[in-house]
Amino acid sequence: MNTQDVLAKMQELIGEQFAVDAEEITMETSFEEDLGADSVDLVELVMAMEEEFDIGEVEEDEVSELKTVGDCVNYLVNKMK
């Protein structure tokens, strides 16, 4: 799965969870600033990522580093190598 595939799937997940148009979500989209996400939202998103991409459990300290959609996409691409 390449970066574009992961981004497309993340756009779907984020669009559903945050009720935003998936097309508006970019690699630069910030969870807190652009989507108004709080820690509960991020935990729910990470759980959806774990299930969708079958990557096992994301560590708590890793979650705190995921500030933008691009951070998540890059994390997932590296995790699936």
Please indicate whether residue 5 is annotated as part of the active site.
Answer: no
Nearest partner of 36 among 23, 18, 21, judged by Cα: 18
What residue type is 53 in one-letter code? F
Query: The tokens 């959806």 sit on which residue?
Result: 48
| Cβ neighbours of 60 (radius 10 Å) | 9
Extended strands (E) in 1-81: none
One of 38, 41, 54, 71 is an active-site residue; which one? 38
Q: Which residues are catalytic?
A: 38
